Amino acid sequence: MDAGLDKVDAIWEKETAIIDGIDISGPWNRMFEQRVIWEYTPELIDKVADLPGAESFSWCYQCAACVPVCPVDMVGDYGPRKLYRKAQTGTDLQSADDLWLCTTCMNCVRVCKKVVDMVQIMPAVREQAVLDGFVPEELQKAFEDTAKYGNPLGQSQRKRAAWTKKSDAPVPIIKDVKRPVDVLWYVGSYPSYHPRGIDAALAAARIFHALDIDYAILGREEKDDGDSQRLAGENGLFEMLAEHNISVFEKYEWEQMVVTGPHEYNAFKKEYAKLGFERPIQHYTQFLSDHLDRLSPLLTHEVQAKVTFHDPCYLGRHHGEYDAPRALLNAIPGLELVEMGRCRENGYCCGGGGGGMWLDSFTQNHTTMRLSERRVLEAAAYGADILAVCCPFEVSRFEDAAKSTGNDQLRVLDILELLDMSMRGEI
């Protein structure tokens, strides 16, 4: 027997231990001794921390500040601290179901004293899992569809601009414009294909047109940004899409880019920048709030409703933008904005980030309710008529959640749709 184990045995149990006159002899009295940290194996922690990007995993000192802010723990048994503890006690994160539950919402990183960065750790470990052939089936389908069709919805790449046919406002395609434009609008996959996403895209087109913005879209040349696929572990797919998109972005002349979705905003601003693409980019809420002086006079119809706003993780916590969406909502006459308890820096997560969008059934098996359902219950508790969003992942998620939780009275609308309503008076 080696010395280490001798030592463990020696302090495992005191046959006689009397503390302050109380006899506490027995196996459980170890709590009055030094913690026996060497009976845990560091191998599985190192296995994670040795991956490039995942180094901070080993910095965790188990303070558990991350657990109460973790949106997944709120509907299940998760939390970044627990991952470290499970790795100590024999769980290999790379093959554990836990690996796929994190939505990379970043709320844990916000409160972590040791800056254990799950937003870096998760994609690093997931990439290994993907390379080793361990991918939940739903997610695999989204990867395959993205690789094959350029979007995770599995729709034809040729139809990426088909939604523009429904638009009453002109939607110029940059290839046809044949001149430099002020604004390149990157529409995104869900606004291009999902019926509720298209509603927001059509509203955006009307608003841009009403503001007389000189803009164009990429049409068929646009492909998914790939960032959520990267966060879900498919870095090769991300690189492929990024190379494609950057080459298309650079093919045309434009002054600034406006994106519909916060995930695309994150992709271009943070990740594409690492690949050398550094151009002015704004989320549409930022762009429109910069044009509020011209937009406000167009908002002529009252929207009489109690509205609450869900901060998208990738606009709020990831990029610190909390004010632009609120500025737009406050510009709508008649609209009463009420804040939910979990808002701004502590905003709850819809569950769609980091690949969660394509892990619905998988996550469902590990949680008591969907994150989107938890959020809708909160919105309903604040008496909101409308849950306003500005991320294309969210509309369908929250609409489904409103129905499944019996909150059919709660409407879910993109801020674009609300602005459009106020502009046109159609509600």
Q: Which is nearer to another protein, 106 or 130 (CB)?
A: 130
Q: Which is nearer to another protein, 243 or 290 (CB)?
A: 243
The DSSP secondary-structure symbol of 271 reads: I
How many residues are there in the chain?
427
The DSSP secondary-structure symbol of 385 reads: S
Q: Which is nearer to another protein, 56 or 229 (CB)?
A: 229
d(CA 38, CA 44): 14
Residues forming beta bridges with residue 23, ordered by sequence position:
18
Smallest gap, in angstroms, from Cβ of residue 186 to another protein?
Answer: 21
Q: Which is nearer to another protein, 143 or 309 (CB)?
A: 143
Smallest gap, in angstroms, from Cβ of residue 272 to another protein?
Answer: 17
Q: Which is nearer to another protein, 311 or 399 (CB)?
A: 399
d(CA 214, CA 30): 72
Angle at alpha carbon of residue 168, lines to 252 and 310, rounded to 5°: 80
H-helix or E-strand spanning residue 414: strand 411-414
Phi-psi domain of 106 (left: phi exceeds 0; alpha: psi -120 through 50; beta: other): left
Structure tokens at 185: 């609008």
Smallest gap, in angstroms, from Cβ of residue 109 to another protein?
Answer: 26
d(CA 105, CA 121): 13
The DSSP secondary-structure symbol of 22 reads: E
Smallest gap, in angstroms, from Cβ of residue 57 to another protein?
Answer: 22
Contact positions vs another protein (CB under 8 A): 130-131, 133, 135, 137-138, 140-141, 143-144, 147-149, 153-159, 193-195, 234-237, 239-240, 360-361, 364, 396, 400, 403-404
Smallest gap, in angstroms, from Cβ of residue 225 to another protein?
Answer: 15
DSSP secondary structure string for all residues of 50-111: TSTT-GGGGG-----THHHH-TTGGGBS--HHHHHHHHHTT--GGGSGGGGT-----HHHHH
Smallest gap, in angstroms, from Cβ of residue 156 to another protein?
Answer: 4
Smallest gap, in angstroms, from Cβ of residue 102 to another protein?
Answer: 20
Smallest gap, in angstroms, from Cβ of residue 237 to another protein?
Answer: 4
Q: Which is nearer to another protein, 237 or 386 (CB)?
A: 237
Q: Which is nearer to another protein, 162 or 337 (CB)?
A: 162
Q: Which is nearer to another protein, 161 or 337 (CB)?
A: 161
Phi and psi of 179, rounded to 5°? -160, 160
Phi and psi of 400, rounded to 5°? -60, -45
